[in-house]
Structure 1
Amino acid sequence: MIQIGDSLPDTTLMEYVQTEGEGCSIGPRPVQVAQACAGKIIALFAVPGAFTPTCSAQHVPGYVRNAAQLKAAGVDEIWCVSVNDAFVMGAWAREQATEGVVRMLGDGDAAFAKATGLTLDLNGKGLGLRSNRYSMLVRNGKVEQLNVEAPGKFEVSDADTLLRQLKAN
């Protein structure tokens, strides 16, 4: 399992782009993790699945609500990672009103989750291999804080906890 001081795995996540921009078409766009983290402080949180009850009612809304405080404390970007495809993450982003606040990144084949060692096996529940619920503070690609939830819990990966840790540094 990834630990404090480790570098994030250099995998590719996918982000659904909803508007045309310089050189980007609408639709899924690859995000190379190492390149996207270079020189930045990232508040990253991962969830077992888009549109799931705790993730939609508490986890994402907490980061949206605390985004300004996280950024005022030095965070450059907030990332939500889930083992879902970019289209699902794009739809969830619209439903959660995260545009410009939280980057919703799909880990469709669970490559990032596997590389971090933070997987959650939900095969018997019809959900397959997923990401565990956690949060981390990442500075220039290295993990500074890591808050991994016990199965079925939502106690330490919330935005308030990460904000307290960021302010304590």
Structure 2
Amino acid sequence: MIKVGDKLPAATLMEYIEVEGNGCSIGPNAVDVAKATAGKTIALFALPGAFTPTCSVKHVPGYVENHEALKTAGVDEIWCVSVNDAFVMGAWARELKTGSTVRMLGDGSADFSKATGLTLDLNARGMGLRSNRYSMLVKDGVVVALNVEAPGKFEVSDANTLLAQAKA
């Protein structure tokens, strides 16, 4: 499992972006993790699935609400990663009105999740292999804080916890 001090794994995430006003889409676009994190501070959080209850009601909204505070604390971008395709992540972004506050990145084949060692087996619930729920603060591609949830919990990967770590 990835730990504080490790570089993020080489991986490509996918992002679907809509052009405001005309409804035409741009994407899905490949996001090279190494290139996209170079020289930046990223508040990255991951969760089991788009449109799921805790993820939709608590996890993502907390980061949207704390966007400005995280920016003030030195965070350049906020990333939400889930084992869903870019189209689902784009629809979820539209539903939650994340706008430019949170980048909604799909890890469709779970390659990033597998490479971090932070997967969650939800086969028994009909959801397959997913990402565990966690948050991390990443500086120039290196993990400087990591908060991994116990199964079924939402206690340490929230925006307020990561905000406190970004301020420290």
Q: Please, what is the CA RMSD of the aligned residues?
A: 0.9
Deviation at 1:27, TM superposition (A): 2.5
Q: Distance in 1 between matches of 2:38 and 2:32?
A: 10
TM-score between the two structures when normalised by the length of structure 2: 0.96
TM-score between the two structures when normalised by the length of structure 1: 0.95
Deviation at 1:167, TM superposition (A): 1.0
Q: Match of 2:117? A: 117
Q: Match of 1:50? A: 50
How many residues align structurally? 164
Q: Match of 2:101? A: 101
Q: Distance in 1 between matches of 2:111 and 2:117?
A: 10
Gaps of 5+ in 1: none
Q: Match of 1:92? A: 92
Gaps of 5+ in 2: none
Amino acid across the alignment from 2:139: R
Amino acid across the alignment from 1:136: M
Q: Percent identity?
A: 75
Q: Match of 1:4? A: 4
Amino acid across the alignment from 2:110: A
Equivalences for residues 1-169 of structure 1 within 5 A: 1-19=1-19, 26-168=26-168
Q: Distance in 2 between matches of 1:29 and 1:99?
A: 16
Query: Which consecutive aligned stretches of 4+ in structure 1 deviate over 3 angstroms post-superposition?
Result: none
Amino acid across the alignment from 2:76: D
Q: Aligned with 2:10: secondary structure?
A: coil
Amino acid across the alignment from 1:151: P
Q: Aligned with 1:26: secondary structure?
A: strand
